[in-house]
A and B are shown apart, each in its own frame.
Chain A
Amino acid sequence: MILLLALGAGLVIGLGWAKLRGHSYQIPRLSYLWLAIVAFLPQFFVTYFERTRALAPDWLAALAIVTSQVLLFLFAWFNRHLPGMLVLIIGLVLNSTVMIANGGFMPINPQTVERIVGEEKIASFESGNRIGYKDILLPTDETRLELLADRFLPPDGFPYQVAFSLGDIFIALGAFWILAYQKSTT
């Protein structure tokens, strides 16, 4: 959700910027749009679509996520000329690296999960279990490249609690930049 908010914010800023300058919004020229759709499909079925998600064993889910990310990397690379895309690619590489190093899922430690789901619910989760869409519950000392894991949280008491990684920050910034940037026409 937080990444879609970044996209939405980028679009609003881009539209506002274009209006202020008195010209129409310049839509980012993406190539290979079909590749984004094809790349996302395997991941959609093992993470976001509840019915098929429950059927997919962990090894298949991990394979689908990694395959999807490799194809999405190609899509992003083919569109690297767009302002902001290289920032997004940095985030993609960081996230993919830590996920591949941890069996195809994004590691998250129990303390971080506790902040999001609460003390009672955390007791029902076991170490090594998939949690959320793409995360896997792992203690910090069992996590490879822990610095790149879902380890960042908003301040205590913030109404929207979400755990995110360093890669997610780059992805959100890149996505925002792609839609917000308007080339100078003067």
Chain B
Amino acid sequence: MKSQLILLGAKINRQHLQLILTIIALAMLVLGVGAPMDGGGGSR
């Protein structure tokens, strides 16, 4: 029972980590290739 809980915990953590990494990679992709201008960033 205890080992099953540990396995379940490990699975949940792995899935969460995978989701976070996926979102980070997609965020980098859209920020990197998109170019909307919402007034942020100022000028130089």
Interface residue total, chain A, C-beta cutoff 8 A: 62
Q: Which residue of A lies closest to B18 (CB)?
A: A27
Q: How far is the CB of A107 from chain B (nearest CB, A)?
A: 10
Bound-complex Cα distance A99 to B33 (A): 10
Q: Which residue of B lies closest to A117 (CB)?
A: B39
Besides A72-B28, A172-B30, 6 other CB < 8 A contacts? A27-B15, A30-B25, A37-B28, A48-B41, A132-B42, A150-B37
Asked if A123 is at the interface of the complex by the 8 Å CB criterion, the answer is no
Bound-complex Cα distance A91 to B38 (A): 18
**Does B28 lie within 8 Å of A95, measured CB to CB?**
no
Among B26, B27, B31, B43, residue most surrounded by chain A Cβ atoms (within 10 Å): B26
Looking at chain A's contact residues, the main secondary structure is: helix
**Does A172 lie within 8 Å of B38, measured CB to CB?**
no
Residues of A within 8 A of B30 (CB): 3-4, 6-7, 88, 171-172, 175
List the interface of chain A (C-beta within 8 A of B): 1-4, 6-7, 11, 24-25, 27-28, 30, 33, 36-37, 39-40, 43, 47-48, 53-54, 68-69, 72-73, 75-76, 88, 91-92, 95-96, 99, 106, 108, 113, 116-117, 124-125, 129-135, 150, 160-165, 167-168, 171-172, 175, 178-179
**Does B41 lie within 8 Å of A95, measured CB to CB?**
no
**Does A72 lie within 8 Å of B32, measured CB to CB?**
yes
Asked if B13 is at the interface of the complex by the 8 Å CB criterion, the answer is no
